[in-house]
Homo-oligomer: A and B are copies of this chain.
Amino acid sequence: MVVIVSAMSGETNRLLALAKQVNDDPPPEYERELDVIASTGEQVSVGLVTLAIQKAGGQAQSFTGGQVRIVTDSAFTRARIKSIDGQKIHEALRAGKIAVVAGFQGIDDDGNITTLGRGGSDTSGVAIAAALKADTCEIYTDVDGVYTTDPNICPGARKVARVSYEEMLELASLGAKVLQIRSVEFAMKYGVKIHVRSSFNDNEGTWVVPEEKQMEDVLVAGVTAARDEAKVTLIGVPDKPGIAAKIFRPLSDHGIVVDMIIQNISEAGRTDLTFTVPRSDLKRSVELIKSTLPEMAEAGIKTDDHIAKVSVVGVGMRSHAGVAQRMFEILAAEGINILMISTSEIKISVVVEAKYAELAVRVLHDGFGLGVAPASP
């Protein structure tokens, strides 16, 4: 058994707050030091967990990311794992010990301490499971699995027994906080079977696995709502080549991720352009557009941060037509107006007024029959 542990609750925030106290805005080349500081949260945890295992009668040994050579690139605070040397872990296992490894951290080729970014311990776990060719990667969390939707919004929400990597990726990127996106990408790449389950009971959780035949029989696997975006509409944009690039380049340069983009039909050489950005970036986005496109300021920039993105996800969409149509009908029947639409192979997202978010989730959950468990294959 290999155990990958996170920092204690609140510890990473406490450590980064200490750093902020002495230097509230370090330049990029000093982000190295943030990782030196933040990585201690997991280091304390591996020591404590190892001591606790010994106290409980077991045998264990702790490892920092550096000690098992979890080698990453040098992108401090958001490093990516390049390789893992399983040798030290294998030695501990052969000696009959449980290997307790610090999540969230690694070292780069020069021995600098790196961290993987928020939720990075999930990724560490999956990456170590892949390196060791483990049978399963069990991820213990504060919920007991992946649900068809948020049980706080929809009492009929049901725990899903199995979900495909692709579905989990869409659900995670749409706001389901169960697993970090990168950990799912890693699992998909290396075929690691994940079992997401509760830290507080022994119930079977949700398996995140390669796509299975019977998953296609289910039209929609889950419904999500995200409230962290805002909508920007640029009215009367000159409809000429290169204008979209001119608008979105400054946002991209400043690390602002634009999600959905809609361009209306052009009239008299001008068009309206609507897009969404993270709500926390709304103000800066508008400022950037005003400064790079002064002509827009007068033409008019409208913003709306009272929106929600409601999505349905399922690999069954690939083989079944009409899911989008059904979704629009369900929402229309409740008088919910759709402001924007975006689709991918296994996902349909609509933007609606924020006040309709919960209602939309409930009627879609019922309308697609998600409260009823699918028949066993």
Pick 8 A–B contacts, CB within 8 A, sort by A: A18-B48, A22-B55, A33-B50, A36-B46, A37-B44, A37-B47, A37-B48, A40-B44
Q: Is A62 an interface residue (CB 8 A)?
A: yes
Can you list, as one digit per residue, whether each of A40-56 has a CB less than 8 Å from chain B (1) or not (0)?
10011011101110110
Inter-chain contacts of A33 with B (CB < 8 A):
46-48, 50-51, 54, 62
Inter-chain contacts of A23 with B (CB < 8 A):
51-52, 54-55
Chain A interface mostly:
helix
Q: Is A27 an interface residue (CB 8 A)?
A: yes
Q: Is A67 an interface residue (CB 8 A)?
A: yes
- Report the copy number of this chain in the oligomer: 2
Q: Is A30 an interface residue (CB 8 A)?
A: yes
Q: Is A352 an interface residue (CB 8 A)?
A: no
Inter-chain contacts of A22 with B (CB < 8 A):
48, 51-52, 55
A152-196 contacts to B (CB < 8 Å): none
Inter-chain contacts of A52 with B (CB < 8 A):
22-23
A82-114 contacts to B (CB < 8 Å): 111-113
What's the least CB distance linking A67 to chain B, in Å?
A: 6
Across the A-B interface, give the 5 residue pairs with the lowest CB-CB distance, nearest first. Answer: A40-B40, A37-B47, A23-B51, A36-B47, A23-B55
Instruction: Given A18-B44, A37-B44, A43-B37, answer yes or no on A51-B26 (Cβ-Cβ < 8 Å).
Output: yes
A25-40 contacts to B (CB < 8 Å): 26-27, 30, 32-34, 36-37, 39-40
What's the least CB distance linking A55 to chain B, in Å?
A: 4
